């Protein structure tokens, strides 16, 4: 039964992503072909649709009741996890254009337009030397490193005699047996970082909190540049 449920979730995830990509491509074609020789004002409609889907879609996703967040009892962390992407979307799509008093500075539609926006951001604001950007990149890459270490720890301490249990639900109180050794994993983490966790939930919350902190740092940097608060940037660059 468990295998059927997890296969069903994977199929649903695949179909949901594919349908969204197909819908976006179809919407572009529907507007592009009939109005090819007319003005490009319809691009604004697609941009507004993309912005609303990202800004409004994340708060709606907080209320999700899917099986995995409920089974591992991580639903209280959904609001924390989604606060990072929401902060980034709001700062880039809303606060920055409003702070610059021109929607020209907002994201454009398409991958090439995103790269142009990044080059513009770097040319006007020297974004790579912004301390908030540095903290965001360091924290995001550090979180990827933490997740890889945690995954390697789980794999190397996996109990082969618990094939009937779910590794993802290892700390679920309804599951009688653990699927990997938390004692060994905790000892490994304490030797590297000097931090020990009382249970797996605090370990997962720590990795989540580190990633969300990086996203919030990047969002604060964009808000500062939107309001032309360059004091911290100039102070930092004079000491490099």
Q: Average the pLDDT over 49-59 and give the result.
A: 67
Residues 6+ apart with CB under 8 A from 213: 139
- The 10s digit of each residue's pLDDT in 65-106 is 555 555 555 556 667 777 787 788 788 777 887 877 766 666
pLDDT band at 237 (very low <50, low <70, confident <90, very high): low
pLDDT band at 132 (very low <50, low <70, confident <90, very high): confident
Q: What is the pTM of this model?
A: 0.59
Q: Is the pLDDT of residue 217 over 80?
A: yes
Q: Is the pLDDT of residue 235 over 60?
A: no
The fraction of the chain above a pLDDT of 70, given in percent, is 47
Nearest 5°: the CA angle 84, 86, 88 is 70
Residues 6+ apart with CB under 8 A from 82: 58, 59, 61, 62
Distance separating alpha carbons of residues 169 and 69, to the nearest angstrom = 10
pLDDT value at residue 6: 43
Distance separating alpha carbons of residues 203 and 162, to the nearest angstrom = 22
Nearest to 92, CA basis, from 113, 78, 71? 113
pLDDT value at residue 107: 60
Question: Using an 8 Å Cβ cutoff, are 132 and 221 in contact?
Answer: yes
- The 10s digit of each residue's pLDDT in 18-33 is 666 666 667 666 666 6
Nearest to 83, CA basis, from 50, 55, 52? 55
> Mean pLDDT across the chain, nearest whole number?
68
- Judging by beta carbons within 10 Å of its beta carbon (0-12, 13-18, 19+), is residue 233 exposed, middle or buried? buried
Classify residue 126 by its DSSP letter. Answer: -
The gap between the terminal CA atoms of the chain, to the nearest Å, is: 59
Distance separating alpha carbons of residues 92 and 53, to the nearest angstrom = 14
């Amino acid at each position: 039964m468990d295998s059927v449920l997890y296969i069903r979730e994977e199929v649903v995830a695949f179909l949901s992503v594919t349908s969204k990509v197909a819908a976006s491509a179809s919407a572009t074609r529907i507007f592009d072909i009939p109005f090819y020789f007319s003005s490009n004002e319809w691009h604004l409609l697609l941009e507004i649709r993309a912005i609303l889907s990202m800004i409004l879609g994340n708060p709606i996703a907080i209320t999700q009741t899917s099986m995995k967040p409920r089974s591992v009892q991580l639903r209280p962390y959904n609001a924390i996890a989604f606060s990072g992407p929401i902060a980034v979307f709001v700062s880039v799509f809303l606060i920055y254009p409003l702070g610059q008093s021109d929607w020209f500075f907002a994201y454009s539609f398409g991958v090439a337009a995103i790269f142009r926006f990044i080059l513009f951001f770097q040319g006007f604001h020297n974004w790579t030397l912004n301390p908030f950007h540095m903290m965001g990149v360091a924290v995001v890459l550090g979180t990827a490193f933490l997740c890889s270490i945690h995954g390697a720890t789980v794999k190397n301490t996996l109990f082969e005699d618990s094939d009937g249990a779910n590794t993802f639900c290892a700390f679920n109180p309804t599951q009688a047996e653990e699927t990997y050794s938390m004692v060994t994993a905790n000892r490994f983490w304490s030797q590297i970082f000097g931090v020990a966790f009382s249970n797996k939930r605090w370990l997962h919350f720590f990795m989540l909190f580190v990633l969300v902190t990086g996203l919030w740092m990047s969002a604060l940097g964009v808000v500062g540049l939107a309001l032309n608060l360059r004091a911290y940037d100039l102070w930092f660059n004079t000491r490099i």
